[in-house]
Structure 1
Amino acid sequence: MRFFTLGIAVATYRNSGTKGYSSKPSNGFYTKYKNKDKTTTEKKQRRTKIPWTEEQKSVLSAVAQGSSVFITGSAGTGKTELLMEVVKLLRKLHTRSKVFVTSSTGVSSFAIKGQTLHSFIGVYDTNNCSPENLLDMIMGKKRAISRWEKAGSLVIDEISMVDAKLFDGLEFVARKLKGVDETWGGIQLVVAGDFCQLPPVNQNSKYVSYAFEADCWNDSFDLQIELTKIFRQSDSQFIELLQAIRRGQTDHPDLVLLENYCSKTKCDPSAVHLFSLNKDVKRVNEERLKTLNKDVVVYRAVDSGDDHRKDHWKKQFEHGIAPDVVTICEGARVMLVKNLHTWKGLVNGATGTVVGFVEATGVADVCSDEWLPIVKFDLGKVLTIEPVEWHVRDGDEIVARRKQIPLILAWALSIHKCQGLTLDKAKISLSQAFGCGIVYTALSRVKCLDDLHLSGFQRSLIQADQRVSQFYRRLALQHNSRDLDNSCIESKDSSSNTTSHTEKPDMAGNICNFSLSVWVARHLKRS
């Protein structure tokens, strides 16, 4: 791994800147919907500029210099927001057509406006596939070969669900198809994810290997950094408790708090119910919809795309969160599955209740009854939800579109599907939970303990893979060797714009944040 000084990176970034269907809902209010132009004020509204932390600036600086970077950190540390900014930088460096944005899951690939990793590869079954076999399979796919040959940068999100064999295989393929005897064939690599969350799934083997166990892992990156500033939660006790669960510590004294929350008899009816199994999610949503005893309105997705690659993009939509059919009625609890107005808080994960419908024109392709739902969101906003588009991409090219209303029923969700979301309130059933990281992934969705209702919690469900803990310990040791504390630094004179790129700036003061790698290292040292 080429040595990269974090202090220089910070300085550089500073300098560079089910009832019958009805034609009209019977028990709701409805009105004639008119398409109005956005007001001048709304048109001018822009997203507030994000105040990046020093850690995030160091990542952006490293990327701007052409370095390959691994970004990790707890849930709620802003990895996705940072990754979106990184993609903008990469497109300036390499041009849009040479930057390929991917993720290990369909849900997260839509969140970052990319494609699934397997879609980029052109091979969907990579279990126990050797690098040579992987290359052989790709060699029969002209478009896949073209993507590799053209790639100047590759982004991979949710790396925790990519195993070591696939990671090594991809690096091998990159070298061979780029024809450059250099790690990843000279491709600038940006990888993000939290190994303490959901692990890789290998249906053909009980053994799980993590991407960081790949032979090429350390040689793949100039900078590996853990983001420590947690934005989702602000309660230090809750943060400490979540980190103990993330670490797999079953004897933490604050775990008694979770056991107390299991005894809570009242649960906010607006809370999203999280389950480990999809069948439980489907059952609860269907039961709750039926109990409303209201006429339902059905929305069916309209797909279009390259017919020659229909199997390819159909799989993308199936594994994503863009629904094929949405069935709702007045009183239904729903969730946004796409960012609409970020400055108003109407983002992916925002929950609300359908309070009525409006008659609309131009939507008969999605809803034959030509009705659009009116949703009152829990944050107080009321909005008529119009159809939007999801795209399946092949690099920068849009190969398919899906038009649908961006809502799903939200009485219940699966823990896997909610990874990356922030929920205002959650009821979590853990009786069927299994595997490392799932308890942490579920609990870390909420902002505070008071918004949480638990059932089925047992300390034995808290599991963390020791290999993951050791990885974060090594990460801490690397940071300590660079005289960094908590992986975060501040320049002594943050207002200066004349810091040399070849001189390490003076360091003073540390942001008081939570670093799992440092915490693990200290905990293991004491024990």
Structure 2
Amino acid sequence: MPDTLIALAPPTPSFDAEPVVQPCGDDGEATRTVHQGVIGKLAAQGKWDEVCERLWARNSSAFITGGPGAGKSTLLRHLHAYLRQKLPGDGTVVVVAPTGTSVKTVGGITFHFFFGFVRDYEPALANPTQEAATLLATSRFEPIKRRLRKVRALLLDEVSMFGADKLSIMYELLSQARGASSPPCLWFAFGDFLQLGPFKSPMAFPSLRWPKLFGNKALDLTGQFRQADPDFTHAVADARVGQCTDAVLQLVDACWVDGNKYEQIKHKVFHLMPHHKTVLKQNRKCLDRLSGGQLPEPFRAVYKAMLNHDRDLSQALGICHGSIGEIVAYEPDGTPVVRLENHVLPAGVERGAFGLRNAGATWIEVLCPPVPFTARLLAHPGLQAVRTQVPFVVGWADTIHMSQSLSVSEAVLDLAECFEPGMVNTAINRVPDKASLFIKSFTPSRIIADPLALSKNRGWERL
């Protein structure tokens, strides 16, 4: 039997529920009423401490959802701190996320590392119970079992990017490693299934383990704490449910750039694009313009940090795969100096340690010397090439997929060829201010919401 469950139950108002109007998604201007629960009403007012207290008092796992800017990351940080007080001890409260950028946002570790999934891990067995048992029986999983036994609360960020298969195996690993005598473990999953999903797998909610953990309930955050412009907020909410409404078209018109206006920013402002090939093309154009097609002299350019091969360095400075910075100088030996804005230096780190060259209140400058880097040889399975290179790639542009969980100060959006549900929604809410949002292409029919996720989102019983 496949490990998926499709259940489109109608919403059941919870006790003391209050109606909230949300976009319907069936026609351009339609709205529908959902019944917000007591905890949801507190969250809409930003009463995060009271929300944490009520979630704790339930003594049950919970799924927390909501649109962009609704406060999911804020609540996660508050809940993490609250749970650390309630469940003291090393390793009792753990935050996991699917990517380095989301880890940096919430201060956790990747679920791949925590649960012992090797690079490009895919289950060998279709049954998650058997797959977990097989993994736990290996010697490699002995230290992983020890840390899983300690966990009393597990917080998952960006759960829309967790595949159903991985969630099921995580559930089984945690359950089997702990044993019947271990205290219960609470799960708190944060995310929006109307954004982009995992690359190869169905989203997490069809997993048979989902209803065991969360039932058919959700805490739906309906506040707006990121975008201050109500027109912008309305457009983002409509795009989230797959509707190209007048509000969306007005946003596109207000942010449209072409001709001379685009020429003035095309080499200066970060681009988000649907296809990797167009990202490479944009980055190549910017690099060629800077260097004249030759190896460049020292220059200032936007780069995107790759996975840092020194785990101590990345953990100490908070730099992760996907960190974005600028090359601002070179050392006499040619080592690039990368400056990361909006990056606060972790407490206890001094200049000169871990390659830290300089730091301010909201930025750091880090030495990035060449490091050994391995790459698979696709033409020869099982073989790897090893080379030495600087640990970053050109970053004037990136794919919309890679931007999920990022907040950027300004961006040019290339939306005409978006091809997946949630892609337009993900792109337009990366920037908090529409004055810093530039749209160079757009096709109304490419605004799509996943129909199963949309139906499920309407059917949650609100907490």
**2:453 matches 1:461:** no
Cα distance in 2 between the residues matched to 1:80 and 1:262: 30
**Which of 45, 56, 60 is equivalent to 2:48?**
56
> Is 1:219 paired with 2:212?
yes
Cα deviation, residue 200, structure 1: 1.7
Change (3 A) 1:74 1:232: same
What is the aligned counterpart of 2:298 among 296, 299, 309?
296
- Taking every aligned residue pair, what percent have the same amino acid on both sides? 25
Which residue pairs with 2:197 in the alignment?
A: 199
**What letter matches 1:196 in structure 2?**
L
Given the two structures, how large is their TM-score scaled by the length of structure 1? 0.60
Is it true that 1:126 corresponds to 2:119 in the alignment?
no
Contact persistence 1:336–1:408 (CA under 8 A): no
2:83 paired with 1:90: yes
Asked whether the 8 Å contact 1:10–1:54 carries over to 2, the reply is: no
C-alpha contact (below 8 Å) 2:40/2:219 kept by paired residues = no
* Residues 305 and 230 (structure 1), Cα distance of their counterparts in 2 relative to 1, 3 Å cut: closer
Mapped contact 1:335–1:410 kept (Cα < 8 A): no
Letter paired with 1:385: E
Tell me which residue corresponds to 1:412: 397
Equivalent in the alignment of 1:429: 414
Question: Is the aligned partner of 1:339 residue 2:336?
Answer: no
| Structure 2: distance between partners of 1:87 and 1:143 | 24
Partner SS, residue 454 of structure 2: helix
User: 2:231 matched to which residue of 1?
Assistant: 237
Q: Letter of the aligned partner of 1:130 in structure 2?
A: N
Instruction: Find the partner of 2:186 among 180, 185, 188.
Output: 188
Instruction: Determine if the alignment matches structure 1 residue 117 to structure 2 residue 111.
Output: yes
Within the alignment, does 1:385 sit opposite 2:374 as a pair?
Answer: no
Query: How many positions carry a matched residue from both structures?
Result: 378
CA-to-aligned-CA distance 1:242-274 (integer Å, 9 cap, x gap): 111111124x23343355344643146243211
Shift of 1:432: 4.2
Q: 1:170 to 1:257 in 2, by over 3 A?
A: same
How far apart are 1:470 and its partner, in Å?
0.9
* Shift of residue 465, structure 1, vs aligned partner: 0.9
AA partner of residue 88 (structure 1): A
Secondary structure, counterpart of 1:416 in structure 2: helix
Aligned residue identity for 2:161: M
Distance, in Å, in 1 between the alignment partners of 2:115 and 2:341 is 26
> Which structure 1 residue ranges, 5 or more long, are not aligned?
14-50, 203-207, 307-312, 343-360, 376-380, 389-404, 480-486, 488-527
Give the secondary structure class of the aligned counterpart of 1:160: helix
Calculate the TM-score normalised by the size of structure 2.
Answer: 0.68
Q: State the Cα deviation string for residues 460-495 of structure 1 (Å, max 9, x = none).
A: 2111111111111112xx23xxxxxxx7xxxxxxxx
1:25-40 matched pairs, under 5 angstroms: none
Equivalent residue of 1:96, what SS? Answer: coil
Change (3 A) 1:175 1:374: closer
Match of 1:378 in 2: none
CA RMSD of aligned residues (A): 4.4
User: Residues 289-336 of structure 1, C-alpha deviation per residue, up to 9 Å, x if partnerless?
Assistant: 453456327999985459xxxxxx99xx9982258x975569x9x983
- Decide whether the 8 Å contact of 2:269 with 2:410 is kept in 1: yes
Q: Secondary structure at the match of 1:186?
A: coil
